[in-house]
A = this chain, B = another copy of it.
Amino acid sequence: MKFTITRSIFSKALNDVSRAISTKTTIPILTGLKLDLTEQGLVLTGSNADISIEATLDVNSEQNDLQIESTGSIVLQAKFFGDIVRNLPEKTMTLEVKDGFQTVITSGASEFNINGLDANNYPHLPEIDAEDALTVPASVLQQLINQTVIAVSNQESRPILTGVHLVIDSGKLIAVATDSHRLAQRTLALPEAGDAHYDVIIPGKSLTELSRTLTDDIQNVEIRFAENQVLFIAGRNAFYSRLLEGNYPDTSRLIPTTSSTTAQFTAPVLLASIQRASLMSHESSNNVVRLALDPASQTATLFGNSPDVGNVEEQLTFTSLAGEALDISFNPDYMKDALQGVGPATIELAFTAPLRPFTMVPTEDRDQFIQLITPVRTFS
């Protein structure tokens, strides 16, 4: 195996696949990065138990400037190899595998000799049919991920809740996540899905990593499903994730359909107020802020309190306030996450009772994105 390549391009592909490589893996060869050189191009692979990333550098791409002298495969220590490539002096670099997996990397007057590993011992990635592929704009997928992973549980006690539940049915995609204290549900029209039906649970961590690889230059992402794997193809990268096994709880009945009090706010303005109130609640043993809504006097007041440190009180600016008076306490961090997911929009909070979950929707897009927050019972 011997090739010469544009160093910056190779380094970038190496960074991409390194996202999947962990130094903490129990399978030693997975701390390495696999290189496969065929007449078609160079494929870099990184993997851990949950996700695998494959980057393909095409022999026909002019900017890759890939010169193949002989094909083959090798596995190299990922972190160390990445450091070497980043620090080489010239624009191009040459990599040659000699006897016994000894690998020589040269660039200008610099020559590295490092020990490689037999690529035959590297686990194979699953093969996933292109048969039922869906295509989604990268920006839409990224938004969908960001808006749902916030509600994913990070408690391994109920592993199923660490995933995002994705259902594709009747030309619609519904993504739901909940940690049982809050819920985020994003709906997307997907006419090209036709009568395809999928019901899968993708680990939240996989989606977060996927979202980080979706750079601005990527237009569309192709999604393919297999038995226990999902594959996202974005630009020259293929991103594999395992699926979570089990039944996701039925969340549709959790979302209230009526309300007795509603309030509308500009999301960033409310976010800043919540942020201030949380400065106090974070100093307290129970991280709770209190919201008092009084439609009769048209006032909304937010309270944060810490017995040791002090308290804060703020008159909130709202765009509308209607229904019955209400006093409700909740975790301000859930509210912050929810508001950050909405962006600069106007949102509506809809309440039924002080101890019942309340909803947050963008007023312009009520059906596409709905979030639920469970209040906290306080004795004060």
Q: Report which A residues bind B (CB closer than 8 A).
A: 77, 80, 83-84, 87-89, 109-115, 272-273, 275-276, 279-280, 283, 308-317
Contact = CB atoms under 8 A, between A and B. Distances in A.
Nearest to A116: B310
Contacts of A283: 80
A334 to B, nearest CB: 18
Contact of A80 (B77, B87, B110, B279): B279
Nearest to A311: B113
B109 A315 contact: yes
Contact of A312 (B110, B276, B280, B312): B110
Chain multiplicity (copies): 2
Contact of A109 (B80, B115, B310, B317): B317
Contact of A77 (B109, B111, B309, B316): B309
B272 A87 contact: yes
Secondary structure call for the A interface: mixed
Nearest to A272: B89
A273 B279 CA distance: 49
A194 to B, nearest CB: 49
A113 B279 CA distance: 12
Contact of A87 (B89, B110, B276, B308): B276
Nearest to A316: B109
Nearest to A313: B111
A314 B80 contact: no
Contacts of A309: 77, 80, 114-115
Contact of A113 (B77, B113, B312): B312
